[in-house]
């Protein structure tokens, strides 16, 4: 048995005071019938008969359209009566007695000033919540360090693997390419002055001080920060966080502290790995473009790049690690509602973490220039 | 076809998940205009059967015909046409969290009809009212609704295209008795209004006694018994008895219909 083909709804006017409806007055059959209502020319102040004898099928959408038609005719001052409707439509036609409500109330659209105000309040509220979260995490961390037996080693090790070991290939590859790009950009300029050997200064200092920590932090924010937000966000949507609280397990201690401790260990190590691969990329390019051999490069590198430059780069990493974990977990805990909210907060965690990492890096530059490092 | 008024016909159905046999030669018929309930213990395959009827899962063997269309041999176009003729209310609502209730109810109309935007909004608001919700509920998001309102909103969406066949998965689960009684009345009223055929999964004994015309008890991959609750209450099989013995079963049976 096939589904019967849908004969479109039609409206005819055999006599000035009569409307004949036919076809399927259903959700799929009516289409653009509503536009015909406006074109109806009916003699003024006359009684109108709406004849439904030709209607094959009727559903609630059809009833709604019929209601719209009757409302329009009555508004023009006509007395309307129905005739010829199949008795099987009686139940649906009863709905006409209880007409649908007028247009649903729309919430008022806020003005520009109100929107600015609301956005500002939301931003302040979020900043305040972030600081509260940092405070709570610090308190939980202090409590946990005071009683080391309570530290959960297994999740820490798990996080070290997922955020650190698993990230080695991508961070290695991107740092290597970064070193290649820096050396390539420098090659032309240095060759003009015959200062080929200074490629070691340029690659060494820029990689160790700036690019390795920054690149590593950005990749980890995208890889792990988003995962933290999605994990905790999903757990709060499914009430797992609430369940944890009622079971007397502090979510901060279980979900946040292991990530904090793991990333504090992992990010400096990843930065070191990026240092090595980045400088190696520079070396490869220096030999190919500038004729500076590996031995000459390393000889110059040890003289030009101080331990301080290396320490500055590595020293930034724990700060970036804290930013990434705290923002990721914070956005996770802020998730409310459904799947949609998880996605929104995950995106926000990555954007905010990268933003704050770059701001922190700029602040470090200011600090170091003041300290003359 | 066995009967001109058969809307769903299941013949010799078999379903397996790996080693686990869910259905072993199950036969079932649902007639036009009736309210049909599927009951059975956990793992008796009622949810799987429902998913197979609404084209979300393919059985391993056997045939299912819904509204005269054999589900095994449907092409894409006829599958789509069939989907427009059935409505499904999921256990947890299945409402889209990024849309408010009015948009949720209007979505099928927007996708499948040629109605103008303004009319769709008004029709959606009306359907929401028919499902027994306040007009203001239309502007709320699913996350902001209580359990009972969620069920009603999801019922309003299932009815958006005026389906001939409505599937309800646990329509009263998680509701307080007052809201559950409201759902009982709503289902009866909608059946009268639309001439719907309703297939539901439920464990709600009140709903079974007050609303269902026929009930099928699933167990061991087959239909153990089928009939009205009064008929089933006279059967002797232990699988069926458990619904009538015990304090809850007796209490529900004594309520006046």
> CA B66, CA B165: separation in Å to the nearest integer?
9
> CA A173, CA A162: separation in Å to the nearest integer?
18
Q: What is the pLDDT of residue B256?
A: 52
Cβ-nearest to A101 among B81, B113, B135: B135
Neighbouring-strand partners of residue B28: B10
User: What integer is the mean pLDDT of A278-306?
Assistant: 92
* B194–chain A Cβ distance below 8 A for any pair: yes
Contacts of A100 in chain B (CB under 8 A): 122, 125-126, 129
| Residue of higher predicted confidence among A226 and A91 | A226
Residue of A25, A34, A61 for testing the chain B interface, max B β-carbons within 10 Å: A61
Contacts of B136 in chain A (CB under 8 A): 105
Domains, chain A, with CATH or none: 10-97 (3.30.750.24), 116-371 (no CATH)
| Residue of higher predicted confidence among B155 and A106 | B155
> CA A21, CA A13: separation in Å to the nearest integer?
9
> CA A200, CA A298: separation in Å to the nearest integer?
8
Domain B6-44+51-74+164-249 has CATH 3.40.630.30: no
Contacts of B142 in chain A (CB under 8 A): 338
- Inter-chain touch B113–A28, beta carbons under 8 Å: yes
User: What integer is the mean pLDDT of A265-291?
Assistant: 95
Q: What is the pLDDT of residue A102?
A: 52
| Residue of higher predicted confidence among A294 and A82 | A294
Closest chain A residue to B125, measured at CA: A104
- Inter-chain touch A1–B67, beta carbons under 8 Å: yes
Q: What is the pLDDT of residue A45?
A: 65
Contacts of A61 in chain B (CB under 8 A): 109, 113, 115, 123, 162
Predicted confidence band at A104 (pLDDT cuts at 50, 70, 90)? low
Closest chain A residue to B196, measured at CA: A59
Residue B37: pLDDT over 90 = yes
Residue B116: pLDDT over 60 = yes
State whether ipTM is beyond 0.95.
no
Predicted confidence band at A2 (pLDDT cuts at 50, 70, 90)? very low
* B188–chain A Cβ distance below 8 A for any pair: no
Residue A228: pLDDT over 90 = yes
Contacts of A92 in chain B (CB under 8 A): 193-194
Contacts of B188 in chain A (CB under 8 A): none
Mean pLDDT of all residues belonging to chain B: 85
Q: How far is CA A183 from CA A244, A295, A309, B204, in A?
A: 52, 16, 18, 73
Q: What is the pLDDT of residue B250?
A: 66
- Inter-chain touch A92–B68, beta carbons under 8 Å: no
Q: What is the pLDDT of residue A1?
A: 36
Q: Break chain B into its structural domains and give their ranges.
A: 6-44+51-74+164-249
Residue-level length of chain B: 257
Nearest-10 Cα torsion for A292, A296, A301, A304: -100
Q: What is the pLDDT of residue B238?
A: 78
Residue A147: pLDDT over 90 = no
* A112–chain B Cβ distance below 8 A for any pair: no
Q: What is the pLDDT of residue A328?
A: 96
Most confident of the ranges A221-235, B6-20, B53-67, B91-105: A221-235
User: What integer is the mean pLDDT of A312-330?
Assistant: 96
What percentage of chain B reaches a pLDDT higher than 70? Answer: 94
Give first-to-last CA distance, chain B, whole Å.
Answer: 33
Cβ-nearest to B97 among A28, A107, A338: A338
Cβ-nearest to A339 among B97, B122, B192: B97
Most confident of the ranges A67-76, A350-359, B21-30, B200-209: A350-359
Contacts of A64 in chain B (CB under 8 A): 119, 122-123, 126
Q: Å from A61 to nearest chain B CA?
A: 7
Predicted confidence band at A265 (pLDDT cuts at 50, 70, 90)? very high
* A129–chain B Cβ distance below 8 A for any pair: no
Which residues, 6+ apart, have CB-to-CB distance to B48 below 8 Å?
A: B15, B22, B23, B57
Most confident of the ranges A275-284, B161-170, B198-207: A275-284
Chain centroid to CA B236: 28
* A347–chain B Cβ distance below 8 A for any pair: no
Instruction: Give, for B24, the enclosing helix (H) or strand (E).
Output: strand B20-31
> CA A64, CA A54: separation in Å to the nearest integer?
18
Interface A-B: count of C-beta contacts within 8 A = 97
User: What integer is the mean pLDDT of B198-227?
Assistant: 88
User: What integer is the mean pLDDT of A3-21?
Assistant: 76
Q: Helix or strand or coil: residue B94?
A: coil
Q: Å from B122 to nearest chain A CA?
A: 6
Closest chain B residue to A90, measured at CA: B193
Residue A98: pLDDT over 70 = no
Find the range with the poorest average confidence among A72-86, B102-116, B205-219. A72-86
Contacts of A336 in chain B (CB under 8 A): 143
- What HEC string does chain A produce? CCCCCCCECEEEEEECCEEEEEEEECCCCCCCHHHHHHHCCCCCCCEEEEEEEEEEEECHHHHHHHHHHHHHHHHCCCEEEEECCCHHHHHHHHHHHCCCCCCCCCCCCCCHHHHHHHHHHHHHHHHHHHHHHHHHHHHHHHHHHHCHHHCCHHHHHHHHHHHCHHHHHHHHHHHHHHHHHHHHHHHHHHHHHCCHHHHHHHHHHHHHHHHHHHHHHHHHHHHHHHHHHHHHHHHHHCCHHHHHHHCCCCHHHHHHHHHHHHHHHHHHHHHHHHHHHHHHHHHHHHHHHHCCCHHHHHHHHHHHCCHHHHHHHHHHHHHHHHHHHHHHHHHHHHCCCCHHHHHHHHHHHHHHHHHHHHHHHHHHHHHHHHHCC
Residue of B65, B115, B156 for testing the chain A interface, max A β-carbons within 10 Å: B115
- Crossing angle (nearest 10°) for helices A257-285 and A294-304: 130
Tokens for B191, please give them: 């059946």
- Inter-chain touch B126–A103, beta carbons under 8 Å: no
* B174–chain A Cβ distance below 8 A for any pair: no
Could you report the per-residue pLDDT of B176-191, keeping only the tens digit for each?
888 888 888 888 888 8
Are β-strands B35-39 and B197-201 bridged in parallel, bridged antiparallel, or unpaired?
parallel
Could you report the per-residue pLDDT of A25-39, keeping only the tens digit for each?
888 777 777 777 777
User: What integer is the mean pLDDT of B213-227?
Assistant: 89
Residue A331: pLDDT over 90 = yes
- Inter-chain touch A104–B138, beta carbons under 8 Å: yes
- Inter-chain touch B114–A34, beta carbons under 8 Å: no
Find the range with the poorest average confidence among A39-48, A229-238, B126-135. A39-48
Residue B239: pLDDT over 80 = no
Contacts of A91 in chain B (CB under 8 A): 192-195
- Inter-chain touch A60–B194, beta carbons under 8 Å: yes
Most confident of the ranges A15-29, A108-122, B236-250: A108-122
Q: What is the pLDDT of residue A296?
A: 92
Q: What is the pLDDT of residue B257?
A: 46
- Inter-chain touch A104–B102, beta carbons under 8 Å: yes
pTM: 0.69
Q: Å from A34 to nearest chain B CA?
A: 8
Residue ranges of B 89-148 with Cβ closer than 8 A to chain A: 97-98, 102, 109, 112-116, 119, 121-123, 125-127, 129-130, 135-136, 138-139, 141-143
- Inter-chain touch A336–B143, beta carbons under 8 Å: yes
Q: What is the pLDDT of residue B255?
A: 58
Could you report the per-residue pLDDT of A164-177, keeping only the tens digit for each?
999 999 999 999 99
Q: What is the pLDDT of residue A183?
A: 94
- Inter-chain touch A105–B194, beta carbons under 8 Å: no
Mean pLDDT of all residues belonging to chain A: 88
Q: What is the pLDDT of residue A133?
A: 95
Q: What is the pLDDT of residue A282?
A: 94
Closest chain B residue to A1, measured at CA: B68
Residue ranges of A 187-246 with Cβ closer than 8 A to chain B: none
Residue B107: pLDDT over 80 = yes
Residue A322: pLDDT over 80 = yes
Find the range with the poorest average confidence among A43-52, B23-32, B129-138. A43-52
- Inter-chain touch B82–A92, beta carbons under 8 Å: no
User: What integer is the mean pLDDT of A96-112?
Assistant: 68
């Amino acid at each position: 048995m096939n589904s019967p083909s849908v004969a479109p709804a039609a409206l005819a006017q055999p006599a000035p005071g009569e409307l004949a409806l036919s076809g399927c007055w259903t959700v799929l059959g009516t289409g653009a019938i509503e536009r015909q209502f406006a074109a109806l020319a009916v003699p003024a102040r006359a009684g109108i008969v709406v004849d439904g004898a030709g209607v094959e099928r009727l559903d609630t959408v059809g009833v709604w359209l019929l209601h719209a038609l009757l409302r329009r005719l009555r508004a023009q001052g006509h007395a309307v009566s129905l005739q010829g409707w199949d008795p099987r439509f009686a139940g649906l036609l009863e709905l006409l007695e209880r007409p649908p409500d007028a247009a649903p109330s729309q919430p008022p659209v806020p003005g520009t000033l109100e929107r600015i105000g609301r956005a500002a309040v939301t931003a302040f509220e979020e900043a305040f919540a972030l600081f509260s979260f940092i405070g709570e995490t610090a308190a939980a961390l202090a409590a946990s360090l005071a009683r080391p037996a309570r530290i959960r080693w297994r999740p820490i090790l798990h996080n070290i693997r997922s955020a650190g070991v698993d990230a080695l290939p991508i961070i290695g590859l991107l740092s290597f390419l970064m070193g290649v790009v820096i050396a390539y950009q420098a090659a032309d300029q240095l060759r003009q002055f015959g200062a080929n050997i200074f490629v070691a200064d340029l690659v060494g200092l820029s990689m160790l001080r700036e690019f390795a920590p920054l690149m590593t932090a950005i990749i980890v924010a995208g890889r792990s920060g988003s995962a933290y937000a999605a994990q905790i966000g999903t757990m709060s949507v499914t009430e797992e966080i609430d369940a944890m609280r009622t079971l007397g397990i502090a979510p901060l201690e279980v979900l946040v502290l292991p990530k904090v401790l793991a990333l504090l260990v992992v990010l400096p190590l990843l930065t070191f790995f990026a240092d090595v691969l980045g400088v190696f990329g520079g070396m490869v390019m220096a030999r190919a473009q500038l004729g500076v051999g590996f031995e000459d490069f390393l000889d110059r590198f040890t003289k030009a790049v101080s331990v301080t430059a290396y320490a500055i780069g590595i020293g930034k990493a724990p700060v970036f690690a804290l930013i990434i974990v705290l923002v990721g977990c914070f956005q996770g805990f802020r998730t409310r509602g459904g799947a949609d909210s998880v996605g929104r907060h995950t995106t926000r965690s990555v954007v905010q973490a990268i933003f704050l990492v770059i701001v922190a890096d700029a602040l470090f530059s200011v600090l170091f220039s003041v300290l003359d490092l | 076809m066995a009967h001109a008024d058969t809307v769903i016909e299941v013949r010799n159905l078999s379903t397996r998940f790996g080693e686990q046999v869910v259905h072993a030669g199950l036969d079932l018929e649902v007639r036009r205009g009736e309210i049909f309930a599927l009951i059975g213990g956990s793992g008796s395959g009622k949810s799987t059967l429902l998913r197979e009827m609404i084209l979300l899962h393919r059985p391993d063997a056997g045939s299912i015909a819904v509204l005269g269309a054999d589900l095994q041999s449907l092409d894409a176009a006829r599958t789509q046409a069939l989907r427009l003729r059935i409505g499904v209310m999921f256990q947890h609502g299945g409402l889209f969290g990024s849309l408010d209730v009015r948009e949720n109810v209007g979505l099928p109309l927007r996708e499948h009809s040629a109605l103008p935007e303004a009319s769709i909004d008004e029709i959606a608001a009306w359907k929401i009212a028919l499902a027994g919700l306040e007009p203001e509920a239309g502007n709320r998001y699913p996350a902001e609704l209580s359990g009972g309102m969620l069920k009603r909103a999801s019922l309003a969406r299932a009815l958006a295209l005026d389906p001939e066949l409505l599937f309800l998965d646990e329509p009263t689960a998680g509701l307080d008795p007052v809201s559950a009684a409201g759902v009982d009345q709503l289902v009866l009223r909608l059946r009268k209004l639309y001439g719907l055929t309703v297939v539901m999964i439920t464990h709600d004994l009140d709903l079974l006694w007050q609303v269902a015309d026929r009930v099928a008890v699933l167990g061991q991959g087959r239909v153990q018994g089928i009939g009205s609750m009064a008929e089933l209450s006279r059967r002797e099989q232990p699988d069926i008895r458990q619904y009538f013995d015990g304090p809850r079963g007796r209490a529900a049976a004594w309520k006046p219909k």
